[in-house]
Structure 1
Amino acid sequence: MERYLRRHGRDIWKYVEEGPHISVLTPVQTLGATARLAGGEPALNRPTKDDLDKMENDAISFYEISCGVAPDNFDIIINCKSAKEIWDVLKNLYEGIEQAQDKKLTPALNEFNNFKAHAGESLEDSFKRFNLIVTKLSNVGTI
């Protein structure tokens, strides 16, 4: 995903890792007084070009990651407000899956490494046991 997003611009991935850019708008000062809108609230400076560029990069990273999510996982990220939030949710989801696979992988690898035919066991029975081990390894994605 990182490589994919970097092709849109070198800073795009930064917003996934660090979070969205938040523009800091300050009240407009005029002749020693704060300018006010008709409702009595202080008028704010407009975002700078740099702020706008950063907000656009935020939007690009959010859009691209959202579009890359499988439809069956979309409801998991639907309420996320930033690309970083989506990435954190997906990372936790898939790292959890990897940890569960690791717990299955170790015993299957041990079985594979320690496989021996039992005394008096037919070749056919040994082959069936071996195939079961290979199937376990295949199910956890090692083959």
Structure 2
Amino acid sequence: MDGKHNKYPMFKGDNYSWWKHRMEHYVKSTDYECWVIIQKGPLAITVTDSDGNNVVKSEDSYVEVDYRKVEKNSKAIGEQDINRISGCTSTKEIWDTLNLAYEGTSQVKKHRIDLLMQQYEIFNMIKDESINFISSRFSSIVNELKGQGREF
């Protein structure tokens, strides 16, 4: 099935690690150049001046290919967390803002991994818990750890 017909993963304010992973794969599969822009920042449309220097091209002199590149700078912006990201000027800035808001600083990430590892290590079945529920709880812990970069 063509990945371009799949609906993008909506972020609803929880399970950020899952959403981040899914969004990364979604964007890469639909438009890899857009993913590069999210990671490195907006494409600057430049032209070489008479001195051989690259300078930002005037919007008045854009051609069709320039407009397509500029469109990619806005392509991955979604509707969620509008207040948090409304001041952002690029998809990279949005991505970084959401990462900081939901994953925190490196110290917060380390603390979160420590807590998840503790849950993983002491994991056990709760009385009268179904196999489906225990499996779901365990998968949730493992997926959160994977989302934080901890592989097993």
- The two structures have a TM-score, normalised by structure 1, of 0.51
3-state DSSP class of the match of 1:93? helix
RCO comparison, higher one (Cα < 8 Å, 6+): 2
User: Quick check: which has more Rg, 1 or 2?
Assistant: 1
Rounded Cα–Cα distance in structure 1 between residues aligned with 2:83 and 2:102: 15
- For 2:95, the equivalent position in structure 1 comes to 87
**Distance 1:106-1:48 versus aligned 2 partners, 3 A rule:** same
1:53 aligns with 2:68: yes
Q: How many residues align?
A: 105
Structure 1: give runs of 5+ residues left out of the alignment: 30-43, 114-126, 128-137
**Distance 1:110-1:21 versus aligned 2 partners, 3 A rule:** closer
**Distance 1:60-1:112 versus aligned 2 partners, 3 A rule:** closer
3-state DSSP class of the match of 1:85? helix
- For 1:40, the equivalent position in structure 2 comes to none
Structure 2: give runs of 5+ residues left out of the alignment: 1-22, 51-57, 128-136, 143-152
**Distance 1:53-1:110 versus aligned 2 partners, 3 A rule:** closer
1:104 aligns with 2:126: no
Q: CA deviation at 1:18?
A: 1.5
Question: Which of 14, 33, 55 pairs up with 2:36?
Answer: 14
RMSD: 4.1
Query: 2:42·2:91 contact (CA, 8 Å) conserved in 1?
Result: yes
Q: Once the two structures are superposed, what CA deviation does each residue of 1:19-66 show, in whole Å capped at 9, x if it has no partner?
A: 111223688x9xxxxxxxxxxxxxx560233322210111223xxx32
- For 1:142, the equivalent position in structure 2 comes to 141
- For 1:119, the equivalent position in structure 2 comes to none
**Distance 1:95-1:54 versus aligned 2 partners, 3 A rule:** same
Rounded Cα–Cα distance in structure 2 between residues aligned with 1:59 and 1:53: 11
Q: Once the two structures are superposed, what CA deviation does each residue of 1:110-132 show, in whole Å capped at 9, x if it has no partner?
A: 4459xxxxxxxxxxxxx7xxxxx
1:21-40 alignment, distance < 5 Å = 21-24=43-46
**Distance 1:3-1:105 versus aligned 2 partners, 3 A rule:** closer
**Alignment identity in percent?**
27
- For 1:122, the equivalent position in structure 2 comes to none
Rounded Cα–Cα distance in structure 2 between residues aligned with 1:10 and 1:107: 37
